[in-house]
Structure 1
Amino acid sequence: EEIEMLKQEIAQKASTGVKREKLMNVKISQVEKGRFQHFIQVQGTVESDNNVLIASQSSGIVKKIHVSAGNKVTKRQLLAELDGSILESSIAEVENGLKLAETIFERQQRLWDKNIGSEIEFLQAKNNKVGLEKRLATLKEQYKMTKIFAPLSGTVDEILIKEGEMAVAGMGAVRVVQLSNLKIKVDLSEVYISRIKKNDLVHVKIPATEREFDLRVDAVSQVIDPQNRTFQIEMKVPKSEVGIKPNMLSVLTINDYTND
């Protein structure tokens, strides 16, 4: 009876269809010694050493903005100016007073040279002239501070002031960026500080432009940031790589270990 029951059970399983495992071909290869390389992938940022936020040196109403974002500018080019009408009036007034003071001083000088007149009158005329000259120089310097000039040649990245609004001394007014000296900077964990060296080759990808290229490490910091336990490396972006802008994200693939 048991044999018959087993036959029936086998027949039942055969009729319901038992899944068979599919066999895979396996190839055996001889292990050979070869070169092993390990890579890490990190994110970096494109930066410019010449990224300058220019501040107004004095406070006042913005009279005129002479540039727009995206404009190319040269060093010492006038970017914007504040209302300097009060200073202009003061300068004109002092200049008129100085002309009179110079005339009086020259007259007193001639008299003094001839031993005519009192010394006090001569000294008063001289002091008055010198005082007005200093006053005029101060006013002209203050007037110059109502002008905002580009400290370097580059591209206007952003304008933070508007015509007719108040500009405050010391606050950013115009940002100028020089795109000819771009660098990629990356913070790496301190565990890699002995593995990354100057002139190491790094593969760089800029997702925003879909550009990929290789760069050499130009500088490796030897100081660990105590806050996040990282050190910094940087690479110069060649001028031939157009379309790359400051603050763009970069993805870097770095070979941190090689065993030949």
Structure 2
Amino acid sequence: MPNWLLSAAPRAAACDLYCFPHGGGTAAEYLRWARDLRSARVHAVQLPGRMPRLDETVPGSMRELVEAFVAQAPLATGPFVFFGHSLGALFAYEVTRALATAGRPLPGRLVVSGFRAPHLPHPATLVHRLPDDELLDTVSRLHGGLPEEVLASAELRKMAAGALRADYRILETYVWHPGDPLPVPLTVFGGEDDRITADELEAWGEHTAAGTSVRRFPGGHFYLRERPAPVQRALAAALATVRSAERGTPC
């Protein structure tokens, strides 16, 4: 069975928090949050085609990626929350839709970050078709977020370009299909200096029948790296709104 999750140690009375990585991102970055998010057991989603799943075939579309995750990932049976940043926000949203369609347990809250509402037109780009160096330069110019040590190493640049190419192919071939609003409350995060506007974040409200809250933080697309503490406090507050169905108490 593919290893979709890198999980922190269990914690008593903690919500399970599933973190879906941004384009080119890795599970390790989000697993580090476990140290500070004491009210959560963090599960960082590991995508095929990157460490430690380098030898696995990367799904060619969002539909294939979601189907594989829903069929194979061992999700919690108790209260849980989804968090996704950038491409991870779209991935988490589509997984939630797939779970709803299948009649399976849903997250108590969906937290999306750094991504415009999925029904809005996405800029027509073909980043995934660019040569490696041009792809990396384009992503760095648009969003930043690529560490200098990666850009300085030929081997790491090749690995980063491969991961980004796979993720941008999924993003750039994505087509949103209308459906019923989710019965799941939405929390929406964004950076004040990001290319994603306040209106594009607010538009996520159309995708839930259970209420939406929107908060923007100082910083750009990777605001959550620039000042992680306020982001983690806001995420902890979102987790606290999810109540255990068995005990009727906050996670």
Specify which structure has the bigger relative contact order, considering alpha-carbon pairs within 8 angstroms and separated by 6 or more residues. Answer: 1
Q: Flag the structure with larger Rg.
A: 1
> What range describes the TM-score normalised by the shorter chain of this pair?
under 0.3
